[in-house]
Chains A and B, each alone.
Chain A
Amino acid sequence: MDSGADIESSISGRVFPFPHRHLLGIAGLTRPDAEALLDLADALVAVNRQKEKKLGLLRGRTQVNLFFEASTRTQSSFELAGKRLGADVVNMSPRTSSMTKGETLIDTAVTLNAMKPDLLVVRHSSSGAAALLSQKVSCSVINAGDGQHEHPTQALLDALSLRRAFGAVAGLTVAICGDVLHSRVARSNVALLQLLGAHVRLVGPPTLMPSSADRWGVEVFHDMRRGVEGADVVMMLRLQLERMSGAFIPSVREYFRFYGLDREKLALAAPGVRVMHPGPMNRGVEIESGIADDPQISLIQDQVEMGVAVRMAILASLARRLENAA
């Protein structure tokens, strides 16, 4: 077993010169950018599996997690990632900040900026919020989900999970199923999977599909059986509860009947199919419990594990680009 210092220097040698100051979305990344991030994250998985998980790549750095939308897994994943790299991590949420007192997003950003953080992880309910912040602060901004726009770290962790499960993403047929219309996960995944050479299908009821989805370079299906037929990967999306009754779909049971993932529909997929879900799951609404928990099929636990590694890779790469980097 390598000593901690050896691992650190080997990881540090793999931190490539990331050519962007922020990570706002998959749009704007090139295939080499994405591949290099995934390579680095892959190496970090091993670090996360040993007893001594702490590296010093971000020692002395301050990372602020600014979450205007509640999130358990993404926020804790970013927090762990920062801490394992040696950064000081501060979590802020709207309940504890002044947003409720009428302070605008930009005021908050400017205030935070004066505290000289190095990395700012942002989640916000409005599309473009991370991009707006990035224009007003001097640190690196990482988009942890902006409205219905992008969730780039989710797409990267999904790609890493696929790469480790299948060896490569290129050539895979991936069916992304459910509420595509409101999903930033779907948008980032479409962009990244296409960048990496996968065939992407979008599956969902017409009311939850963007009207222009057929122009995204994907195949669109409203019949889930046909959509998952022969697919190597079925990626389920979360259906927000407030969209379930009457507004976009008539009822939960009708949704599960036509768009929930059950054994019957899954049997139509390619042999060796793997199932993914960004979480948190609505068991019995979009996915049958047994499938989610089946280790032969489900990649859901891997996704969570890869999440920490991918976020470490991004934090480390962006830190290299900071103006005051050593």
Chain B
Amino acid sequence: MTGPFHPPRPTAFVNARVIDPESGYDGPGALVVENGLIADVARAPQIEAGSHELELIDCGGAVLAPGLVDLRVKTGEPGAETKETLKSAARAAAAGGVTSIVLQPDTDPCIDEPAMVDFVLRRARDIGLVHVYPAGAATKDLKGGEMAEIGLMHEAGALYVTDADRPIVDSRVLRRVMTYAKGFDTLVAHRPADPHLTAGAAATEGEFAGRMGIPSGPAVAERVMLERDLAIAELTGARLLVDQITTRDALDSLSRAKLKSLEVFASASINHLSFNELDIGDYRTFYKLNPPLRPEDDRQALIEALGNGLVDVIVSAHAPAPAEDKRLPYDEAAPGAVGLETLLAALVTLHHAEGLALVDLLAKVTVAPANLMGLKAGRIAAGAPADLVLFDPDAPVVIDADQLISKSKNSPFDGRRLQGRVLRTVVAGRTVFEAP
């Protein structure tokens, strides 16, 4: 295998089904990769290339698409390396066809100043598998009080600011964060959840949680906070990313804001698109998530929102939790699920199950997040980075959590039958994963 610092030989990928979500093209294609970039693209199975040194990869009709860009990934580094290290997360991403990940700042210590941004970027460079970018904290120590060094972190390479799972309760603080971030054209991501309404909650209030006796919070807690966030986004003119929208109610609020042409965007996690609260069943803690799983009607609303553009981005919401944090009574167990390795297969399964076009679904994990972050990745075009995933969209896979690369095995897809198998992952022209 070629080392990270030696540019690989020019390569031609031929006989592929190329899907380019930027142009909407889905059809036969071939491309040439040189110096880490896509040099040329043909909408035909073969491509003419001048170089004799060309390495030829026959895709055998499999889908060749831009590598996935995942805007919401947690690792345990620094601070909780037993859960996940940057290296194990990068390897998991590569195995899942994810070529760019954006880390959440809620590490220990948290990423709330430029030296931490730099630390993560340097660690990632040493690992050299996939592109790793940090998001910076919006407030110091994620406490929701004083503003963090948003400008310096932006300059150091942080892609956006967020307090991750912690909503900023003080509206004045959020207003100043948004106002200030706008000066650097930095996106602010915020979790819409009223922390008082959801205090102590481990599930969504309703028939299921009531019957099971699980402490629960009302779904409207999401809309309550979102309405405020949208109002402040309108007031400040800042760019807002609604972090993991999950309810029909909140989607209605979002659609009204989008009508006003506010610069608001929303992400949905693959988990909330794939499961509903009934999957919790007999207190299965791998389905304990934050935000919690919702009733089926909300999941349907999310699926609709993919089609009508209300949801811009799909994230894995990768959140490793080791067995000791999950093998506990439901209300004591840690929330979250790993998802880097299963994101693509789960998406392809959604395509098969819900009848959504593959190219449209892929756009939510490639060109849309890339554009939101100002990255050149996420498209198949001459001059774009050669970050690619080759996958078989029809191959059945059974997820076995114990086989996952992530150090934590908390996958809600464990034992599930999905469709879509990653054959090869390419980052900057170099193969970083190849299916055995």
Q: Which residues of A contact B (CB under 8 A)?
A: 27, 104-106, 124, 126-129, 131-132, 146-150, 184, 187, 210-213, 215-216
Contact = CB atoms under 8 A, between A and B. Distances in A.
Given A105-B328, A147-B329, A215 B213 contact: no
B205 interface: yes
A105 B329 contact: yes
Contacts of A216: 207, 210-211
A212 B330 contact: no
Nearest to A184: B213
Nearest to A186: B213
Contact of A106 (B212, B327, B331): B327
Nearest to A133: B329
A220 to B, nearest CB: 12
Given A127-B283, A212-B206, A132 B329 contact: yes
A128 B206 contact: no
Nearest to A132: B329
Contact of A126 (B210, B211, B330): B330
Contacts of B282: 128, 131
Nearest to B325: A104
B303 interface: no
Given A127-B331, A146-B213, A148-B214, 9 more contacts: A105-B328, A106-B328, A124-B329, A126-B332, A127-B212, A128-B282, A132-B327, A132-B328, A210-B210
B210 A213 contact: yes
A211 B210 contact: yes
B415 interface: no
A128 B207 contact: no
B210 A128 contact: no
Contacts of A212: 205-207, 210-211
Contact of A215 (B207, B324, B332): B207
B215 interface: yes
Contacts of A150: 213
A149 B331 contact: no
Contacts of B329: 105, 124, 126-129, 132, 146-147
29 contacts: A104-B324, A105-B329, A106-B327, A106-B328, A124-B329, A126-B332, A127-B214, A127-B215, A128-B213, A128-B282, A128-B330, A131-B282, A132-B283, A132-B329, A148-B213, A148-B214, A148-B215, A149-B212, A149-B214, A187-B211, A210-B210, A211-B205, A211-B218, A212-B210, A212-B211, A213-B210, A215-B207, A216-B207, A216-B211
A63 B189 CA distance: 54
Contacts of A128: 212-214, 282-283, 329-330
B179 to A, nearest CB: 37
Contacts of A105: 328-329
A69 to B, nearest CB: 12
Contact of A127 (B207, B213, B328): B213
Interface centre among B207, B282, B283, B324 (most CB of A within 10 A): B283
Sorted nearest first, the 4 A-B pairs with minimum C-beta distance are A126-B329, A128-B283, A149-B213, A148-B213
A219 to B, nearest CB: 16
Contacts of A184: 213
B235 to A, nearest CB: 33
Interface centre among A106, A127, A146, A184 (most CB of B within 10 A): A127
Interface in B324-359: 324, 327-332
Nearest to B327: A106
Nearest to A124: B329
Contacts of A27: 211
Given A146-B213, A215-B207, A216-B211, A131 B327 contact: no
B330 A127 contact: yes
Interface string B183-225: 0000000000000000000000111001111110010000000
A105 B327 CA distance: 9
A265 B332 CA distance: 40
A127 B202 CA distance: 11
A187 B215 CA distance: 14
A253 to B, nearest CB: 27
Contacts of A124: 329
A104 B326 CA distance: 11
B329 to A, nearest CB: 3
Interface centre among B210, B328, B329, B330 (most CB of A within 10 A): B329
Given A148-B213, A149-B213, A104 B207 contact: no
Contacts of B207: 212, 215-216
Contacts of B324: 104
B259 to A, nearest CB: 31
A149 B208 CA distance: 11
A26 to B, nearest CB: 11
